[in-house]
Amino acid sequence: MREILLALPGREQSYRIVLDPGLRHRLGAELAGLQLSPRLFVVADARVARLYAEDVLAALEAGGTLPQLLTIPPGERTKSWSMARRLARRLLALGADRTCAVAALGGGVTGDLAGFVASIFLRGVPFVQVPTTLLAMVDAAIGGKTGVNLPEGKNLLGTFHQPRLVALDPEFLQTLPRRERLNGLAEILKAGFIRDPDLLSALDAHRLGLFEDPEALHYVIFRAAEIKAQVVAADEREADTRRILNFGHTLGHALEAASAYRLPHGQAVAWGMVFALELSTLLAGLRPETAQAGRRLIRACGLARRLPSLDPAAILAALPHDKKRRDRDLVFVLLEDAGRPVIHRGAPLPLVREVLGRLMEMNPACQDKRV
Ligand SMILES: NC(=O)c1ccc[n+]([C@@H]2O[C@H](COP(=O)([O-])OP(=O)(O)OC[C@H]3O[C@@H](n4cnc5c(N)ncnc54)[C@H](O)[C@@H]3O)[C@@H](O)[C@H]2O)c1
- Beta carbon of 143 within 6 Å of any ligand 1 atom: yes
Instruction: Point out which residues pair with 345 in neighbouring strands.
Output: 331
158 Cα distance to chain centroid: 15
Query: Is there an atom of ligand 1 within 6 Å of 183 CB?
Result: yes
Pocket test for ligand 1, best of 180, 188, 265 (most atoms within 8 A of CB): 180
List, in order, residues 6 or more apart from 59 with CB less than 8 Å away. 24, 25, 26, 27, 28
Active site residue 161: no
Distances (CA, A) of 141 to 134, 222, 232: 10, 13, 12
Q: Does residue 238's CB lie within 6 angstroms of at least one atom of ligand 1?
A: no
- Is the Cβ–Cβ distance between 156 and 211 less than 8 Å? no
> According to the model, what pLDDT value does residue 326 have?
45
Distance 303 CA to ligand 1 centre (A): 18
Question: CA 265 to CA 268: how far, in whole Å?
Answer: 5
Is residue 262 part of the annotated active site? The answer reads no
Please tell me the predicted confidence (pLDDT) of residue 31. Answer: 93
Q: Of 181, 242, 243, 344, which residue is the catalytic one?
A: 242
- Which CATH architecture does the domain made up of 2-176 adopt? 3-Layer(aba) Sandwich (3.40)
Q: What is the pLDDT of residue 49?
A: 98
pLDDT score of 322: 44
* Mean pLDDT split into 10-residue runs, the chain, 371 residues: 90 91 96 92 98 98 96 97 98 96 98 98 97 98 97 92 97 97 97 97 89 96 97 84 92 93 93 97 97 96 90 86 54 96 91 91 57 46
> What CATH number is given for 229-366 in this structure?
1.20.1090.10
Asked if 253 is an active-site residue, the reply is yes
21 DSSP 8-state letter: T
Answer whether 110 contacts ligand 1 (Cβ < 6 A). Answer: yes
> Whose CA is closest to atom 44 on ligand 1?
140
Helix 178-195 crosses helix 265-283 at what angle (to 10 degrees)?
20
Summarize the chain as % helix, strand, coil (round to 5). 55, 20, 30
Distance 135 CA to ligand 1 centre (A): 7
Question: Would you say the CB of residue 172 lies under 6 angstroms from ligand 1?
Answer: yes
- Catalytic residue from among 39, 206, 223, 228: 228
Cα(69)–Cα(148) distance, integer angstroms: 20
Q: Specify the pTM.
A: 0.94
- Which of 161, 243, 253, 344 is catalytic? The answer is 253
Tell me, in angstroms, the distance from the centre of ligand 1 to residue 76's CA. Answer: 8
- pLDDT number for residue 363: 65
Q: Is 286 helix (H, G, I), strand (E, B) or coil?
A: coil
Choose, from 238, 299, 325, 340, the residue flagged as catalytic: 238
Domain ranges of the chain: 2-176, 229-366
**Atom 42 of ligand 1: nearest residue by CA position:** 108
Closest Cα to atom 11 of ligand 1: 108
Measure the CA–CA gap between 332 and 193, rounded to whole angstroms: 14
| Ligand 1 pocket residue status of 45, Cβ below 6 Å | yes
